[in-house]
């Protein structure tokens, strides 16, 4: 149970960190409330202590404050220690929301050791009437730098 609690806490930090990185990379003004409770819902949770993974399956929804991460599945990879999370992968209609900002992708890959978040497959970012689409966005969580690739398209709405 303690391991499950730590995984849930790390998932909340994942959502906060990922969304914070997006705001640093020019994707909006998303603010994380790290003190807000974290709620995780899924149709199924499977923990494999031999493989050091936890798999949330089916309509996964992680909510912390105004932020929400939704995906068909979220897999957490951890080391020997309960809080040694090395990687998290959300897949299947991944949606990150924090009003008024919104991001979508087929997959989100958060590498804790490298400090990177990679959104791949039909990536869309919407914020304040502006939009960006690409096949891939690489975000460096340390610097906030972002690189978009795969037929990048942006639509900017001038301030009125």
Tell me the CATH number at 144: 2.60.450.10
**Residue 28 domain-assigned (yes or no):** yes
Q: What is the pLDDT of residues 108-136, one digit of tens each?
A: 998 878 888 899 999 998 988 899 999 99
CA count, 13 A, side-chain hemisphere, 55: 9
Q: Is the pLDDT of residue 78 over 60?
A: yes
Number of domains in the chain: 1
Q: What is the pLDDT of residues 93-115, one digit of tens each?
A: 999 887 778 889 999 998 878 88
What Å distances lie between residue 141 and 63, 107, 118, CA to CA?
21, 17, 10
> Average pLDDT, stretch 12-26?
41
pLDDT at 142: 79
| CA 40 – CA 145 distance, rounded (Å) | 29
pLDDT at 25: 40
**Residue 121 domain-assigned (yes or no):** yes
Q: Which two tokens stand for residue 72?
A: 């068909």
| CA 65 – CA 38 distance, rounded (Å) | 8
**Residue 160 domain-assigned (yes or no):** no
Q: Is the pLDDT of residue 53 over 50?
A: yes
Report the mean per-residue pLDDT for the chain: 78
Q: Which two tokens stand for residue 32?
A: 């994380």
Confidence of residue 39 (pLDDT cuts 50, 70, 90): confident
Domain residues for 119?
2-155
């Amino acid at each position: 149970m303690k391991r499950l609690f730590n995984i849930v806490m790390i998932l909340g930090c994942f959502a906060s960190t990922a969304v914070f990185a997006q705001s640093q990379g020019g994707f909006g003004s998303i603010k994380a409330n790290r003190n807000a409770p974290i709620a995780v819902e899924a149709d199924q949770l499977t923990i494999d202590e031999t493989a050091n993974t936890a798999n949330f399956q089916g309509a996964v929804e992680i909510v912390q404050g105004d932020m929400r991460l939704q995906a068909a599945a979220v897999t957490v990879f951890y080391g020997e220690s309960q809080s040694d999370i090395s990687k998290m992968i959300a897949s299947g209609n991944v949606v990150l929301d924090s009003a008024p900002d919104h991001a979508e992708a087929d997959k989100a890959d958060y590498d804790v050791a490298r400090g990177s978040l990679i959104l791949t497959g039909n990536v869309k970012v919407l914020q304040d009437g502006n939009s960006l689409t690409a096949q891939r966005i690489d975000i460096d969580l340390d610097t906030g730098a972002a690189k978009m690739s795969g037929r990048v398209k942006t639509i900017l709405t001038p301030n009125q």
